[in-house]
Amino acid sequence: MTSEELRSLIAAGLPCDHLQVEGDGRHWSAVIVSAAFQGKRPIQRHQLVYATLGARMHTDEVHALSMRTLTPAEWASQPH
């Protein structure tokens, strides 16, 4: 899987204001900004992202995914 493929999967299942994905094909890191995260705890935010990936999270297609999940307001208040 490429970073663009992973990015597309997340974006198809979750409306994102900002989405950055980097990795080596198995180990990934992502910064995901979505209004869907509003009022959700970190674990709930991660579960929303995992839901967009489905079974890929249980195979070697996505072996590991480290995430920063932010609302648009949280993103706007942080330096980039």
Q: Please, which pLDDT band fits residue 3 given cuts at 50, 70 and 90?
A: very high
Say how far residue 14 (Cα) sits from the centre of its chain: 9
Question: Please, are residues 71 and 34 in contact by the beta-carbon 8 Å criterion?
Answer: yes
Query: Looking at residue 23, which CATH number applies to its domain?
Result: 3.30.300.90
Give the whole-number percent of the chain exceeding pLDDT 70: 100
pLDDT value of position 32: 98
Domain of residue 14, residue span: 3-75
- pTM score of the predicted model: 0.91
- How many domains is the chain built from? 1
What one-character-per-residue DSSP string does 21-51 give?
A: EEESSSEEEEEEE-GGGTT--HHHHHHHHHH
Please report whether residue 80 resides in a domain: no
Please report whether residue 36 resides in a domain: yes
Say how far residue 18 (Cα) sits from the centre of its chain: 10
